[in-house]
Amino acid sequence: MKVSKDHPRYRSLLVREMMSQMVRDGIVAPSGLIAHGRGEAFDYLLGEQTTDNARRAERAAVVLLLSASRPVISVNGNTAALCAEEIVRLAEAVGARTEVNLFHRTEERLDRVVAFMEKAGGKQVLGRHADASLPGISSDRAKCSKEGIFSADVVLVPLEDGDRTEALVRAGKKVIVVDLNPLSRSARASSIAIIDEVTRAIPNMTAIVPGLKTDGRGQASDPTFDNAANLAEALEFICARLNRLASEGKA
């Protein structure tokens, strides 16, 4: 479909078309489109902006990634489709490995997403050889790479399912999620939840690395960051915005 430039939701419509094409290309799972739609709705409630709250979480996340011994960025189909190059840049900036890990896992789609990340500049992208298993979740979704997620101490999982976030936390890892729903299980179970849209969050994080990377590894994690308080604040931001829209609607 041709998208008219004067449509009030022009950018959303372009991204929708791109994501639909990514399903045809075998990068995004059909149900990944449903997840994208959920994200769109929550981003609409946020006003499609990075809040101060999100900036604080992004900063805490970069500090944590820089302090990690074995940081890994987990990439699923939606993340690859939305911001493959941005993930590659962040991984380079913080010295993290990237691992493709799919919710709806098929070997074919896994191969395609790894190739897609490599085409975006990704080096030594993990995920093709799932030689380890996370305990406590169903078989297919437990699969991961031994030298990647399995042995990571800090994992950034943009757009992750609640079950897997909880399993990663139970496995003793610090888990950073990017999730637009401050009420989601992923957001609540994670160590740091960034309530921001992934294509804004990832470049924001890369941009603050130079200022935080003083002596490379070894910086302590941000002691002032409180995930529960941050989530409550994100929810309050949405509430305040809705209350304002509701009162404008009545005017």
Binding of its own copies at residue 204 (CB under 8 A)? no
Nearer to its own copies, 35 or 212 (CB): 35
Dist CA 212 CA 66 (whole Å): 8
Residue among 55, 104, 109, 213 that touches its own copies (CB under 8 A): 104
Binding of its own copies at residue 208 (CB under 8 A)? no
Selected range binding its own copies among 66-74, 122-130, 181-189, 209-217, rule: CB under 8 A: 181-189
Nearer to its own copies, 43 or 68 (CB): 43
Binding of its own copies at residue 47 (CB under 8 A)? no
Nearer to its own copies, 25 or 131 (CB): 25
- Residues between 134 and 163 with contacts to its own copies, criterion CB under 8 A: 138, 140, 162-163
- For residue 146, the minimal CB distance to its own copies (Å) is 24
Binding of its own copies at residue 236 (CB under 8 A)? yes
CA–centroid distance for 85 within its chain: 14
3-state helix/strand/coil string of the chain: CCCCCCCCCHHHHHHHHHHHHHHHCCCCCHHHHHHHHHHHHHHHHHCCCCCHHHHHHHHHHHHHHHHCCCEEEEECHHHHHHHHHHHHHHHHHHCCEEEECCCCCCHHHHHHHHHHHHHCCCCCCECCCCCEECCCCCHHHHEECCCCHHHCCEEEEECCCHHHHHHHHHCCCEEEEECCCCCCHHHHHCCEEECCCHHHHHHHHHHHHHHHCCCCCCCCCCCCCCHHHHHHHHHHHHHHHHHHHHHHHHC
Selected range binding its own copies among 115-123, 146-154, 192-200, 226-234, rule: CB under 8 A: 226-234
Residue among 135, 211, 223, 249 that touches its own copies (CB under 8 A): 249
For residue 85 the two structure tokens come to: 């190059």
Binding of its own copies at residue 24 (CB under 8 A)? yes
Pairing of strands 97-100, 71-75: parallel
Residue among 27, 42, 65, 165 that touches its own copies (CB under 8 A): 42
Binding of its own copies at residue 37 (CB under 8 A)? yes
Binding of its own copies at residue 232 (CB under 8 A)? yes
Determine the size of the site formed for its own copies (CB under 8 A): 47
From the list 131, 77, 128, 133, the residue with the least C-alpha distance to 102 is: 77
Asked if 238 contacts 182 with a C-beta cutoff of 8 angstroms, the reply is yes
Residue among 10, 38, 129, 216 that touches its own copies (CB under 8 A): 38
Binding footprint of its own copies on the chain (CB under 8 A) = 1, 4, 7-8, 16-17, 19-20, 23-24, 29-31, 33-42, 44, 104, 138, 140, 162-163, 181-183, 185, 228-229, 231-232, 235-236, 238-239, 242-243, 245-246, 249-250
